[in-house]
């Protein structure tokens, strides 16, 4: 499975989810697109228009992207601005799992310093290579088999529904 | 063969076989699951929307996996600060009532404080909640960590975490007696300063050693709470007599007692457990510490800082339990808050609030000129009860001083202990608490 996109934004180390979507917005909507409209509102207001300018954008960062609060709205804020993947040198667990659950690809590579703004990237989940078409460089994707599987499935939901189905069918029907 | 860490033992117990750090487990059942009113409403809505068809097809009513293992705790912006927040609270209340799930009330306390005080989370359990500071429960010897909305909805359905990587553990061995005016908060800010914001990424931070052994539970909660600021998966302290007497008292308040089953859940790391790294900390060398804007890892001895401060916040799940309010009151007693500074005090739970009232601590704060609010996250969440404006400088006992965390991105947040906060409130600038402590006082 291949995913392509253009690098729309680059960030440094330790971008926290408060920067991605500030707390005062979290309770104001249950609609995912709402958070995309306010992505990086206080930290980098150009984020949404810049990412939306491409059909498929990719965000590149250094270490520890998505640290801090567990708010999944941070993932909606990124994804629903036409972002297909975040490429970084490391991700904290909660953000990583939130990405997996929402079909935003969290791609870990050893060194993101040579990936430039505007570069065209191809992410190949089968060969586990990230190819920078602009520089011709190739990066190894660091991931467990399980997370590659989940990325291909677009999240856990289908799997969880199947587990629930098996469990419910193993129980006698509830008395009316 | 090396022994096992407490984290490995807890996962092993949950899955019924030996689990090793680094291995990915397909499904891990959790013991406890709790929600605040920020993520609870969308998690419930998504659960209803995404799983309805499965229940219908099986001829069953929509039903969570086990109502007695779940709780809803509205705490972030309560009493409600907006119409949408009120709608969210009603939504989770209706759902909780329908499903037979415990629903706490606005003002009962901050979720991570209630979860331990109410003996909802117990030693040896796996506890998850839709908030990154769930790691606070590690002080009980539980394996506790934050999850997102989707994981929360999945857990409502099946009570299982999928594709779970058993975390490796970093051992923090802490020895040495605290200097006068130094507390658990100073220790953990110092640790964050040496590790950096990503320093413990994906690892469990396990704290041990004579300094930790001699700490009360409130101090241990503070240390575990802030460990997520170095991106730890969670933090944990091996349960000891201090832990068990805390848990016994919490159970007793609910008319329950420690049973052999509960005692059997208690796990401790083996002496020959395998750690990914060991970090030795000498607590005796630590001074009262503050973290400067805009990173919790930007730690400095308070003696090197004297910036003016317009707001002091004593509160949050990090530092607003009995021991914290006691220290702050000791310093503020008979003194006044600086005319240039606003002091906000928010006890971490209704129980702490009522206790502080009985002890006369609330009167000390009120006499000093503080604003005392009912229990909630308050300004820590940056949504109500003391939002910072551009140029404001706040000293907070909470855990995050990110740019914009408490309001304007042009405000500045400093983190410190309740002692530093009280001294700072008096002087109107970041201040060393040691001169306010009676001689011979810890
Ligand atoms: S007090 Fe602050 S850190 Fe703690 S749960 Fe509330 S918002 Fe989060």
> Of B375, B382, B316, B312, which is closest to residue B343 (Cα–Cα)?
B312
Q: Is the pLDDT of residue A174 over 60?
A: no
At residue A171, the pLDDT reads 72
- B296 and B347 share one domain: yes
Ligand 1 mean position, distance from CA A63 (Å): 24
Domain boundary among B281, B305, B330: B281
CATH number of domain containing A80 = 3.20.19.10
Q: Is the pLDDT of residue A70 over 60?
A: yes
- State the DSSP H helix or E strand holding residue B236, giving kind and residue range, or none if neither: strand B234-237
CATH number of domain containing B420 = 3.30.499.10
Q: Do B150 and A144 touch (CB under 8 A)?
A: no
Chain B residues with CB under 8 Å of A23 CB are 381-383, 405
Burial class (CB in 10 A: 0-12, 13-18, 19+), A128: middle
Burial class (CB in 10 A: 0-12, 13-18, 19+), B175: middle
Q: Look up tokens 């949504």; give the residue.
A: B383
Between positions 16 and 45 of B, the ones with CB within 8 A of A are 24, 27, 37-39, 41-42, 45
Ligand 1: does its nearest atom lie under 6 Å from the Cβ of B377? yes
At residue B54, the pLDDT reads 97
Identify whether B1 is part of a domain: no
Identify whether A89 is part of a domain: yes
Please indicate if any CB of chain A lies within 8 Å of the CB of B90.
no
Ligand 1 mean position, distance from CA A24 (Å): 13
Q: Is the pLDDT of residue A173 over 70?
A: no
Identify whether A151 is part of a domain: yes
Q: Do A64 and B295 touch (CB under 8 A)?
A: no
Mean per-residue pLDDT for B123-147? 98
Kindly indicate the confidence band of residue B304, based on its pLDDT and cuts at 50, 70 and 90.
very high
Give the C-alpha separation, A164 to A158, whole Å. Answer: 10
Number of domains in chain B: 2
Q: Do B76 and A70 touch (CB under 8 A)?
A: no
- B98 and B236 share one domain: yes
Identify whether B424 is part of a domain: yes
- B196 and B322 share one domain: no
DSSP string, chain A: -EEEEEEEEE--S--BHHHHS-HHHHTT-S-HHHHHHTTTTTT-TTHHHHHHTSSSEEEE--SSTTBS---THHHHHHHTTTEEEEEES---HHHHHHHHHHT-EEEE-S--TTPPTT-EEEEETTTTEEEETTT--EEEPB--HHHHHHHHHTSSHHHHHHHHHHHHHHSPPPP-
- B338 and B429 share one domain: yes
Provide the residue range defining the domain that includes B410: 290-436
Q: Which of B151, B226, B376, B379 to mutate to test the interface with A (most CBs of A within 10 A)?
A: B151
Identify whether A175 is part of a domain: no
Contact partners, residue B403, CB within 8 Å, separation at least 6: A19, A42, A43, B293, B294, B409
Rounded to the nearest 10 degrees, the angle between the axes of helix B149-158 and helix B40-57 is: 40
- B317 and B406 share one domain: yes
Provide the residue range defining the domain that includes A85: 2-170
Ligand 1: does its nearest atom lie under 6 Å from the Cβ of B169? no
DSSP letter at B138 equals G
Q: Do A27 and B45 touch (CB under 8 A)?
A: no
Number of domains in chain A: 1
- B309 and B267 share one domain: no
Render pLDDT for B145-166 as a digit per residue (tens, 0 to 9). Answer: 999 999 999 999 999 999 999 9
Structure tokens at B143: 């394996």
Mean per-residue pLDDT for B103-131? 98
pTM of this prediction?
A: 0.97
Please indicate if any CB of chain B lies within 8 Å of the CB of A46.
no
Closest protein CA for atom 6 of ligand 1: B377
- B267 and B381 share one domain: no
* Distance between A16 CA and the closest CA of chain B, angstroms: 8
Please indicate if any CB of chain B lies within 8 Å of the CB of A148.
no
Please indicate if any CB of chain B lies within 8 Å of the CB of A103.
no
Render pLDDT for B393-428 as a digit per residue (tens, 0 to 9). Answer: 999 999 999 999 999 999 999 999 999 999 999 999
- B321 and B348 share one domain: yes
Ligand 1 mean position, distance from CA A58 (Å): 31
At residue A157, the pLDDT reads 93
Mean per-residue pLDDT for A149-162? 94
Between positions 369 and 428 of B, the ones with CB within 8 A of A are 381-383, 400, 402-405, 409
Ligand 1: does its nearest atom lie under 6 Å from the Cβ of B398? yes
Q: Is the pLDDT of residue B92 over 60?
A: yes
Chain B residues with CB under 8 Å of A66 CB are none
Identify whether B399 is part of a domain: yes
Please indicate if any CB of chain A lies within 8 Å of the CB of B431.
no
Render pLDDT for B311-346 as a digit per residue (tens, 0 to 9). Answer: 999 999 999 999 999 999 999 999 999 999 999 999
In chain B, helix, strand, coil percent, each to 5? Answer: 40, 20, 40
Ligand 1 mean position, distance from CA B147 (Å): 15
When the pLDDT of each residue in chain B is averaged and rounded to a whole number, the result is 97
């Amino acid at each position: 499975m291949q995913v392509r996109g253009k690098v729309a934004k680059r960030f440094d180390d330790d971008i926290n989810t408060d920067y991605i979507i500030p707390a005062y917005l979290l309770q104001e909507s249950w609609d995912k697109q709402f958070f995309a409209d306010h992505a990086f509102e206080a930290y980098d207001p150009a984020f949404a228009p810049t990412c939306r300018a491409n059909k498929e954008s990719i965000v590149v960062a250094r270490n520890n992207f998505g640290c801090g609060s567990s708010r999944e709205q941070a993932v909606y804020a990124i994804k629903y601005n036409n972002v297909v993947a975040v490429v970084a040198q490391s991700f904290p667990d909660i953000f990583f799992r939130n990405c997996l659950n929402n079909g935003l690809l969290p791609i870990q590579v050893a060194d993101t310093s040579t990936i430039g703004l505007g570069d065209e990237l191809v992410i190949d989940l089968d060969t586990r290579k990230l190819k920078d078409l602009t520089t011709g460089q190739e990066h190894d994707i660091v991931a467990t088999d399980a997370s590659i599987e989940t990325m291909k499935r677009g999240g856990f939901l289908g799997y969880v529904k199947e587990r629930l189905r098996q469990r419910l069918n193993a129980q006698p029907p509830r008395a009316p | 063969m090396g022994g096992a860490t407490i984290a490995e033992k807890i996962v092993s117990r949950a899955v019924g076989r030996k689990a090793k750090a680094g291995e990915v487990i397909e499904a891990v059942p959790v013991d406890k699951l709790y929600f605040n009113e920020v993520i609870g409403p969308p998690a419930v809505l998504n659960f209803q929307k995404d799983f309805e068809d499965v229940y219908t097809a099986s001829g069953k009513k929509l039903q969570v996996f086990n109502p007695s293992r779940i709780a809803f705790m509205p705490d972030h912006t309560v009493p409600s600060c907006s119409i949408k927040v009120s709608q969210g609270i009603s939504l989770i209340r209706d759902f909780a009532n329908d499903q037979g799930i415990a629903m706490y009330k606005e003002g009962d306390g901050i979720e991570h404080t209630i979860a331990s005080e109410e003996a909802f989370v117990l030693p040896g359990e796996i506890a998850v909640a839709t908030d990154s500071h769930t790691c606070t429960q590690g002080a009980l010897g539980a394996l506790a960590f934050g999850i997102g909305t989707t994981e929360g909805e999945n857990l409502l359905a099946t009570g299982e975490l999928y594709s779970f990587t058993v975390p490796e553990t970093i051992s923090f061995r802490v020895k040495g007696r605290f200097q006068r005016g130094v507390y658990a908060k100073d220790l953990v800010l110092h640790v964050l300063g040496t590790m950096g914001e990503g320093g413990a990424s994906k690892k469990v931070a396990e704290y041990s050693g004579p300094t930790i052994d001699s700490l009360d539970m409130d101090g241990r909660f503070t240390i575990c709470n802030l460990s997520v600021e170095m991106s730890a998966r969670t933090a944990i302290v091996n349960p000891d007599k201090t832990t068990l007497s805390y848990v016994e008292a919490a159970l007793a308040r609910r008319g329950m007692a420690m049973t052999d089953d509960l005692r059997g859940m208690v796990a401790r790391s083996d002496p020959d457990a395998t750690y990914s790294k060991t970090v030795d900390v000498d607590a005796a060398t630590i001074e009262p510490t503050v973290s400067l804007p805009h990173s919790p890892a930007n730690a400095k001895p308070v003696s090197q800082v004297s910036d003016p401060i317009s707001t002091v916040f004593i509160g949050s799940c990090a530092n607003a339990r009995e021991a914290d309010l006691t220290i702050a009151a000791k310093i503020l007693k008979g003194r006044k808050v600086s005319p240039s500074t606003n002091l906000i005090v928010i006890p971490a739970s209704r129980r702490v609030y009522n206790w502080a009232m009985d002890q006369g601590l609330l009167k000390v704060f009120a006499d000093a000129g503080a604003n005392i609010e009912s229990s909630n996250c308050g300004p820590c969440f940056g949504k109500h009860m003391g939002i910072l404006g551009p140029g404001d400088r706040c000293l907070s006992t909470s855990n995050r001083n990110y740019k914009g965390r408490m309001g304007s991105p042009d405000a500045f947040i400093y983190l410190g202990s309740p002692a530093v906060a009280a001294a700072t409130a008096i002087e109107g600038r970041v201040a060393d608490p040691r001169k306010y402590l009676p001689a011979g006082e810890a």
